[in-house]
């Protein structure tokens, strides 16, 4: 009861802070950047509440989010939007989020600018973390600055998508971020001093800068080609905070997958129910560099096996660069995404990595396999619950972790993600493999909670 009451107070307080922040943001951006002088979309007269064409077939209109209970309002008259459907009031089942605020929508309301842009802020706290090495030096996880409030990701992106549906088109993407996740997002497969790795981008205290994407794109019909620095296709979890359910990351994701590549990647979507990927990269986690002669294949496919099962296979093969110490290797990732019902989703992922590590050139563990299983239950647009069970083996040493968490959305732009996690291993030898005295020293429960605010 005490924990529930404490969490409720914390969430209410946080909701108030978010509301104040939203008001401040709107005041700060109280201007419009219009890319056209007299856009037709801006000349259309506003729709009056008496006009049935506004979307209310009975001619009545309420507020912009959910109406007043007579226009398909999910909350109804008893729970009008604004207060009752947010933090304070109604039952857990009532939820009216409305449309999220975006910088693009505010500064270019007509959508006349071809360049899209936005970002997010992620901050969080987590307790002692058994996944860290004994020196608190990277270890086995992203969250390696424990027992303090961290700004993990302050992110800004710019993008023009190449649309080949009407012929040849071009585009680009650029991402830049600051925070404690920067060291994990930099091109650490480079030689030091290249691109954003160890080149004055780290700022101390675990903080730094990174530029994980910078690429150009051309598209024609169903074929798209990007060239430059871009995220990997491998795996289920990703670096970008808004695209994950959990605050923490799986061991397999952090240890057995690349995060970024430099190279070229083609995507073809002209086949029925199949999307193909094929490209070349300068190894793993490189940024406009080919450390130790990195040169590898990246590709695979995604398809729907049934109406409820999506399957993705992605592989890499060749010289992974710094990751494999200049030696050749192979890896693949299998992801099955299964809709068990309208509200229940199951994901199975397995990764395999293998190569002959060259210790002289810094190659690291070369025999790794991971199996991750996820189960997500969507309560409504505001609430979801999830679990993750994982097993990861590296050179004969096995590790397991169980994570349970919630996603709470008090606002269309905000998600709060509390979680508890238990890490364990089956032997003292495995614990010593990652720098601990034994399995009792490694195993523990940890708690974490973060918030992600998109814009």
Cβ burial of 11 (10 Å; 0-12, 13-18, 19+) is middle
**Top-confidence range, 133-147, 348-362, 404-418:** 404-418
Nearest to 307 by CA among 271, 270, 349, 342: 342
* Confidence check: pLDDT of 446 > 50: yes
Question: pLDDT per residue over 258-296, tens digit each?
Answer: 999 999 999 999 999 999 999 999 999 999 988 899 999
What is the DSSP pairing of strand 274-281 with strand 202-204?
unpaired
Q: Is 374 helix (H, G, I), strand (E, B) or coil?
A: strand
At residue 144, does pLDDT exceed 50? Answer: yes
Q: What is the pLDDT of residue 20?
A: 47
Asked if residues 451 and 14 have their Cβ atoms less than 8 Å apart, the reply is yes
Which segment, 140-154, 409-423, 439-453, is predicted with the most confidence on average? 409-423
pTM here?
0.80
Quote the pLDDT of residue 315. 98
Q: What is the mean pLDDT of residues 396-420?
A: 96
- The per-residue pLDDT for 129 is 60
Q: Is the pLDDT of residue 141 over 60?
A: yes
Beta bridge partners of 415: 452
Between 17 and 171, the more confident residue is: 171
Instruction: Mention every residue, 6+ apart, whose C-beta is less than 8 A from residue 1.
Output: none
State the chain's mean pLDDT as an integer.
81
CA-closest candidate to residue 351, choices 329, 373, 335: 335
């Amino acid at each position: 009861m005490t924990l529930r009451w404490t969490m409720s107070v914390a969430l209410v307080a946080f909701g108030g802070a978010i509301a104040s922040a939203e008001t401040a943001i709107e005041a700060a951006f109280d201007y419009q950047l219009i890319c056209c002088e007299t856009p037709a979309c801006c000349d259309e007269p506003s729709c009056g509440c008496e006009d049935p064409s506004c979307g209310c077939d009975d001619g009545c209109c309420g507020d912009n989010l959910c109406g007043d209970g007579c226009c398909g309002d999910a909350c109804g008259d008893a729970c009008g939007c604004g207060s009752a459907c947010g933090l304070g009031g109604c039952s857990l089942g009532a939820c009216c989020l409305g449309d999220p605020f975006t910088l693009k929508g505010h500064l270019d309301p007509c959508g006349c600018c071809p360049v899209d842009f936005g970002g997010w802020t992620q901050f969080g706290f987590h307790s002692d973390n058994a996944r860290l090495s004994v020196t608190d030096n990277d270890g086995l996880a992203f969250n390696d600055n424990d027992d303090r409030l961290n700004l993990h990701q302050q992110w800004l992106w710019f993008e023009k998508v190449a649309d080949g549906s009407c012929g040849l088109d071009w585009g680009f993407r650029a991402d830049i971020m600051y925070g404690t996740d920067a060291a994990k997002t930099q091109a650490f497969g480079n030689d030091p001093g290249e691109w954003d790795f160890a080149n004055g981008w780290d700022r101390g205290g675990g903080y730094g800068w990174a530029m994980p994407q910078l690429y150009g794109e051309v598209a024609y019909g169903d074929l798209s080609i990007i060239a430059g620095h871009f995220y990997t296709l491998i795996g289920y979890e990703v670096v970008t905070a808004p695209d994950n359910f959990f605050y923490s990351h799986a061991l397999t994701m952090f240890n057995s997958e690349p995060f970024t590549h430099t190279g070229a990647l083609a995507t073809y979507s002209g086949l029925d129910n199949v999307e193909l990927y094929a490209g070349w990269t300068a190894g793993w986690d490189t940024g406009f560099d080919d450390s130790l002669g990195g040169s590898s294949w990246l590709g695979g496919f995604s398809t729907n096996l049934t109406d409820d099962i999506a399957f993705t296979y992605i592989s890499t093969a060749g010289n992974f660069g710094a990751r494999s110490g200049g030696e050749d290797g192979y890896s693949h990732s299998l992801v099955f995404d299964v809709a068990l019902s309208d509200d229940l989703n199951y994901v199975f992922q397995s990764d395999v990595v293998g190569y002959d590590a060259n210790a002289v050139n810094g190659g690291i563990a070369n025999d790794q396999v991971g199996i991750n299983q996820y189960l997500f239950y969507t309560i409504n647009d505001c609430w979801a619950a999830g679990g993750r069970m994982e097993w990861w083996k590296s050179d004969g040493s096995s590790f397991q972790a169980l994570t349970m968490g919630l996603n709470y959305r008090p606002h269309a732009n905000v998600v709060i993600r509390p979680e508890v996690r238990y890490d364990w291993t089956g032997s003292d030898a495995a614990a010593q493999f990652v720098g601990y005295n034994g399995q009792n020293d490694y195993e523990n429960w940890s708690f974490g909670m973060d918030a992600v605010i998109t814009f």
